[in-house]
Chains A and B, each alone.
Chain A
Amino acid sequence: MNIDHNILTIITFTPLAGAIVLTLLPDRDKLQQWGALAVTLLTFLFTLHLPFHFDHTAAATAFQFEQNLPWITSPAIRYHVGVDGLSMWFVVLTGLLAPLGVLISWRAIDSRRRLFYVLFLLQQVAMLGIFVSLDLFLYYAFWELSLVPMALLIATFGRTENRRRAAIKFFLYTFIPSAMLLVAMLWLYTRTGTFDYPQLAALAATHGISGNTAALWLASLAFLAAFAVKVPVFPLHGWLADAVSEAPTAAVMVIAGKLGLYSILRFSFGIFPGQSHRIAPLMLALGAIGIVYGALLALVQKDLKRLAAFGTLGHVSVVILGIFAFTVSGIDGGIYQALNEGIGGSALFMLLGLLYERYRTYDMREYGGLAANLPWVVTMFVLTALSVTGLPMLNGFVGEFLVFSGTMQSAIAHHIGWTTLATTGVILTASYMLWMIQKVFYGELGPRSESITAPDLSAREHLALWPLVALFLFMGIASPIFMKAINTAGTRIAETVNHSQGTTVNFEAASSHSDHTDMTTTSSATKGAR
């Protein structure tokens, strides 16, 4: 039997099996840590199967490593998984971050380790499930499931007394828009009789979902809003700072960004191409505002973790700006930047976490002059900062360059103004990152850094950080390796959305409903002929 048909199932459910094993193991010595590390490493190895066996030559629309089995007969729900150029690297990234998350939590989580690692692995299952699901029901199941372990991680392992409130806030912020997402999904099902994403996307491309433009419009908004909260897009970021500042490092690494961004790219653009195009000017504006707003807020934070949280808001906004430009380079850059955010953000939060482990505070005023004591930490910090600010040769540059050049070429109204505004965000990002480094590592010794002498990076911490730092460089100079798959997806998305726009214009010209149906048939016929 060919492993290609099962590999995604194996990837998704290995952490689940691991979680069950950990539940049965005692919470003694380092047993839980080693167990979790083994499971996550194994999962990562499985995810590496994907890029090595990914067929770049196949038709760009095709999903690979597919598995499609009946699950629930009525309503028609299938267990359908598969990846394409869009989701593949996200799966690998999720696989990579997990063992690093375990390494960085090794000592930070010193009580109730079993609960922590079991929840951590369940979170892993949900995230991998989100990236591989091609059935809307299955996708939604994983999407909602991802909330529970995260909320519990925050509620249980949060830093301050505020943790329960932050957890509930996080949960509610995502859950309520998701309820509307479910309504929209169910509505789609009643229109089309299927939850299958490829079928829905094919129907959408031929305007076959529904003739009711108002309902389609509302459904697309429900989809977009649910995803935008998760990203988060300005002004829906209310949960971010609280959740980030409470959550343990390993959880923060995955809390924002890629899940929501991927979902927009896959489902909003795939099922509602015309509507996405229509809302793009607004989203471009929100993206640009988010970049500047996030960076400005980051500039005035005293708390390092809140600073990084608002920084994250800025970085995900760059992605929003790129993908809603609907040019190939904008979308490619957006996807690339989403990956960068995953790597760079994780590195930053890991570094902050290990500072906290040493000095028990995130208050920037307590720090200062650490560079002499902690040469390795400062090196890593600077590298991360450079990557995040988009220095050439590092990964951030590739993504940002593509995003901004893609946005400049975009056909969406007002793009130049917003792009210009957005590029100032690059400067602001550089300022708060360097400002932070200066405050924490240089200058006079702060109260904490004076009273506590802490060791530099341990071997375990080196192990956790080096893969990310290596990726900064590797993804900066060898971007074509990654871009090959991403570009197939980016091109397809750009085509779908722009193509849908062309036909919609024709539709509006069409006078009666019968014309409408005729044209739907013709356009599907021409597509078939091609």
Chain B
Amino acid sequence: MAPNVLALLPEYILTITGVLVMLADPLFPDEKARKPLGWLAILGTVAAGLASWYQLRFGVLHAFYGTIQVDSFSVFFHLLIAAVALVTLLSSLDYFEGHANVAGEYFALVLFGATGMMLMTCSVELLMVFVGLEISSISTYIMAGFRKGKAPASEASIKYFLLGSFATAFFLYGIALAFGATGSTRIDAIAQGLATTSAPTLAFLSLALIIIGIGFKVSAAPFQVWTPDVYQGAPAPVVGLMSTAPKAAAFAVLLRILFSGFPAYEHRWAALIWIIAALSMFVGNLGALMQRDVKRMLAYSSIAHAGYLLVAYTAFPADGIASACFYTAAYAAMNVGAFTAITIIGGYNERARTIDDYAGLALKRPALAAALGLFLISLIGIPFTGGFFGKFYVFSAALHSGNVWLAVIGLLNSGIACFYYLRLLAALYAKPAQQNEHATYSPVTVPAAIALTFTAVATVLLGIAPNRILGLAQRSASVTTNQSSPLQPSAGTVSSTGTH
């Protein structure tokens, strides 16, 4: 296989499947269900995941004049994105039941979005990252408004689009300044250029702009204002997707840029990230306390989780990157799982909105309630779940590098957080409220059940047997830190500071 094809194999597979879905869509009569297209998309996603796995055996692959670099870091995120897309597709198969005519392009958009996100994680050239970012963003803008004819959905879409474009502009401007300061837009060349640059302020400004652009994408405070409205208005399966996969991709990009591109400025950006992380945790958790709407609450919770994740960035690279990767995976599993459950419970018309609407779910749908309960427990960070181990790992990395206060802030925040998760959890198991005593829930379909089981198993496995994923995360950390960063303290020195 030609190197260019091999390196971008997963992206090719997704694009081709997406195009096929688009081509096949008009062949269906208007009122007929688009489920076969959904299955085709699922097939393509699985194939893309397998292709990423296959790439692992080649070590590091380069393509397109070195702008693409496939390594265990990118494969980690490719697999994660493919898994999230897969779960999203499975849970939305029946979501559009009765609104079949819109489903075809939806499936294609999920695939295109995933393509863009994957491209982001394997690019080592900022312009290429930008292309990936745009592909993924535009798909998600459209998907956010996919419940056509509903005002909140359109509001979500427009808001997301306007603010998102603005943030992308920041990102692009940052790239331009980086080019001005260092003479390159390639991440490794930037790292070298920084050593000799005559305009360090400009270089730092470029980094700050890039952080703003990415901060928007991952909904970190103070760039989070769009999140609650968009999450509330967008369809539940789409929120599941866009709260995890594009964020994972953006976090991956940020890891590469910070640790491979700007390690020389670590003392400066670490302070920025410190502030953003602390702010995100507080804004997210305190904001979530006030919410009655479940999707809005989870929107704030996702801001808080972005904060927890950013804590990892302030740690020593070896620990920090590995824990950030692991946390991304754990967060993806539990959050997509939670939104899958919400998708099933609410349906296309989003019947269940406030916490009270969930009251008594355990009586009528014990398995569904148990699954949602598990995801909530994991989001709180109770042991034997991925959420706990992720948090544990991130904060131990932070403490390892002497960031005691951020760890204290983070864990206090997880204390605040458990209040609102618990409120929902307690509602699930409480007696039903008056108005939903006779509520009927649509039956859980097989694809949705598979999606739910998959995420639940992943959440538990990440908590009790994380060795495999940890190994992968630690490998991807070593890839990112070894390349072109002179100041790297190796894993050995980090742990040896411990005992004396």
Chain A residues close to B by CB (< 8 Å): 72-75, 112, 115, 137, 140-142, 144-145, 147-148, 151-152, 155-156, 163-164, 167-168, 171-172, 175-176, 179-180, 182-183, 186-187, 189-193
User: Which B residues are within 8 Å of any A CB, using their own CB?
Assistant: 362-363, 366, 377, 380, 382-384, 388, 392-393, 395-396, 399-400, 404, 407-408, 411-412, 414-415, 418-419, 422-423, 425-427, 429-430, 466-467, 470-471, 474, 495, 497-499
A72 and B407 form a contact (CB under 8 A): no
Q: Can you list 23 A-B pairs with a CB-CB distance of less than 8 A?
A: A140-B383, A141-B383, A144-B382, A145-B383, A145-B384, A148-B382, A151-B422, A164-B426, A172-B415, A172-B418, A175-B418, A176-B412, A179-B415, A183-B399, A186-B395, A186-B399, A189-B396, A190-B400, A190-B497, A191-B499, A192-B499, A193-B495, A193-B499
Complex Cα distance, B497 from A509, in Å, reads: 27
In the complex, the chain A residue whose C-beta lies closest to that of B322 is A74
**How many CB-defined contacts (below 8 Å) exist between A and B?**
102
Identity of the chain B residue whose Cβ is nearest the Cβ of A164 in the assembled complex = B426
Among B377, B414, B422, B499, residue most surrounded by chain A Cβ atoms (within 10 Å): B422
In the complex, the chain B residue whose C-beta lies closest to that of A114 is B366
A67 to B81 CA separation, bound complex (whole angstroms):
39
Whether A179 lies near B411 (C-beta < 8 A) is: yes
| B471 to A, closest residue via Cβ | A73
| Other-chain residue from B362, B380, B411, B470 in contact with A182 (beta carbon distance below 8 A) | B411
Q: Is the CB of A183 within 8 A of B415?
A: no
Instruction: Say which residue of B377, B404, B422, B499 sits within 8 Å of A167 (CB atoms).
Output: B422
Provide the residues of chain B in CB contact with A176, threshold 8 Å. Answer: 412, 415
Residues of chain B contacted by A189 (CB below 8 angstroms): 396, 399, 498
| A residues in contact with B499, CB < 8 Å | 191-193
Known A-B contacts A72-B467, A147-B382, A183-B407; the reply to A168 vs B396 at CB < 8 A is no
Across-interface contacts of B384 in A (CB, < 8 A): 141, 145
B399 touches A151 (CB 8 A): no
A156 to B426, CA, bound (A): 7
Which listed residue (A75, A156, A180) contacts B393, Cβ 8 A?
A: A75
CA distance A183 to B402 in the complex (A): 12
B426 CB contacts on chain A under 8 angstroms: 151-152, 155-156, 164, 167-168
Taking chain B's interface residues, is the majority helix, strand, or loop, or is none over half, making it mixed? helix
A180:B408 contact, CB within 8 angstroms: yes
How many Å lie between the Cα of A179 and that of B381 in the bound state? 10
Residues on the A chain within 8 Å of B422, using CB: 151, 167-168, 171-172
B388, B467, B498: the one within 8 Å of A191 (CB): B498
Check B429 against A183 for contact (C-beta < 8 Å).
no
A250 to B102 Cα, complex, angstroms: 53
For the complex formed, measure the closest distance between the CB of A295 and the CB atoms of chain B, giving whole angstroms. 32
Given A145-B382, A183-B395, 13 extra CB contacts under 8 A: A73-B471, A75-B396, A115-B429, A144-B382, A144-B388, A148-B377, A164-B430, A172-B418, A175-B415, A180-B411, A183-B404, A189-B396, A190-B497
Determine if B399 and A190 form an interchain contact, defined as CB atoms under 8 angstroms apart.
yes
Bound-state Cα–Cα, A176 to B400, Å? 22
**Complexed CA–CA distance, A167 and B424 (Å):** 12
Return the 6 tightest CB-CB contacts between A and B, nearest first.
Answer: A141-B383, A176-B415, A179-B411, A155-B426, A193-B498, A156-B429
State A141–B392 Cα separation when bound (angstroms). Answer: 11
Instruction: Evaluate contact between B382 and A186: CB separation under 8 angstroms.
Output: no
Is A115 touching B396 in the complex (CB atoms < 8 A)? no
Task: Give Cα A142–Cα B408 distance, bound, in whole angstroms.
Answer: 21
Question: Hey, which chain A residues are within 8 Å of B399, CB to CB?
Answer: 183, 186-187, 189-190
Quick one: closest B residue to A76, CB to CB? B495
Quick one: which of B393, B404, B470, B498 contacts A192, CB cutoff 8 A?
Answer: B498
Whether the pair B419, A172 counts as a contact (CB closer than 8 A) is yes
Query: When the two chains form the complex, which single residue of B400, B408, B429, B470 contacts A72, counting CB atoms closer than 8 Å?
Result: B470
Identify the closest chain A residue to B373 (Cβ).
A152
* Measured CA separation A75–B319 after assembly (Å): 10
Chain A hits for B363, CB < 8 A: 112
Min CB distance A115 to B, Å, is: 7
Identify the closest chain A residue to B396 (Cβ).
A186
Residues from chain B with a CB closer than 8 A to the CB of A112 are: 363
Contact B430 A155 (CB under 8 A): yes
Complex contacts, B400 vs chain A, CB 8 Å = 190
Residue on B with the closest CB to A172? B419
Q: Which residue of B lies closest to A141 (CB)?
A: B383
Tell me the smallest distance from the CB of B371 to a CB of chain A, in Å.
13
When chains A and B are docked, how far (Å) is the Cα of A483 from the Cα of B170? 71
**Shortest distance in angstroms between B270's beta carbon and chain A's nearest beta carbon?**
18
Q: What is the CA–CA distance of A112 and B423 in the complex, to the nearest angstrom?
A: 20
Which residues of the other chain, A, contact B395 by a CB distance below 8 angstroms?
A: 182-183, 186
**Complex: chain B residue closest to A138, CB-CB:** B383
State the CA gap A112–B396 with chains docked (Å).
40
Bound CA–CA A148/B382 (angstroms): 8
Report the minimal beta-carbon distance from B135 to chain A, rounded to whole angstroms: 36
CA distance A140 to B418 in the complex (A): 17
B425 in contact with A190 (CB, 8 Å):
no
Q: Considering the chains assembled together, what is the distance between the CA atoms of A163 and B426 in angstroms?
A: 9
Residues of A within 8 A of B474 (CB): 74
- CB neighbours (8 Å) of A152 from chain B are 425-426, 429
Nearest-Cβ distance from residue A130 to partner chain B, whole angstroms: 12
Provide the residues of chain A in CB contact with B430, threshold 8 Å: 155-156, 163-164
Q: Which residue of A lies closest to B398 (CB)?
A: A186
Docked complex Cα distance between A85 and B415 (Å):
34
Residues of B near A163 (CB, < 8 A) are 430
Shortest B448–chain A CB gap in Å is: 20
Chain A residue nearest in CB terms to B363: A112
Q: Are A179 and B414 in contact (CB under 8 A)?
A: yes
Q: From known contacts A142-B383, A189-B396, infer whether A168 and B423 are also in contact, taking CB-CB under 8 Å.
A: yes
- On whether the beta carbons of A168 and B377 are closer than 8 Å, the reply is no
A155 to B426, CA, bound (A): 6
A186: which B residues are within 8 A, CB to CB?
A: 392, 395-396, 399, 407
Nearest chain A residue, comparing its CB with the CB of B383 = A141
Given A72-B470, A145-B382, A183 and B411 contact (CB-CB distance below 8 Å) = yes
Cα–Cα distance between A183 and B395 once the two chains are bound (Å): 8
Most A Cβ at <10 Å: residue of B383, B388, B411, B423: B383
B-side contacts of A175, CB under 8 Å:
380, 415, 418
Whole-angstrom distance between the alpha carbons of A115 and B364 in the complex? 13
Given contacts A72-B467, A155-B426, A172-B419, A182 and B392 within 8 Å (CB-CB): yes
Cβ–Cβ < 8 Å partners of B366 in chain A: 115
A79 to chain B, nearest CB (A): 10
CB neighbours (8 Å) of B418 from chain A are 171-172, 175
Nearest-neighbour CB distance to chain A for B240, whole angstroms, equals: 24
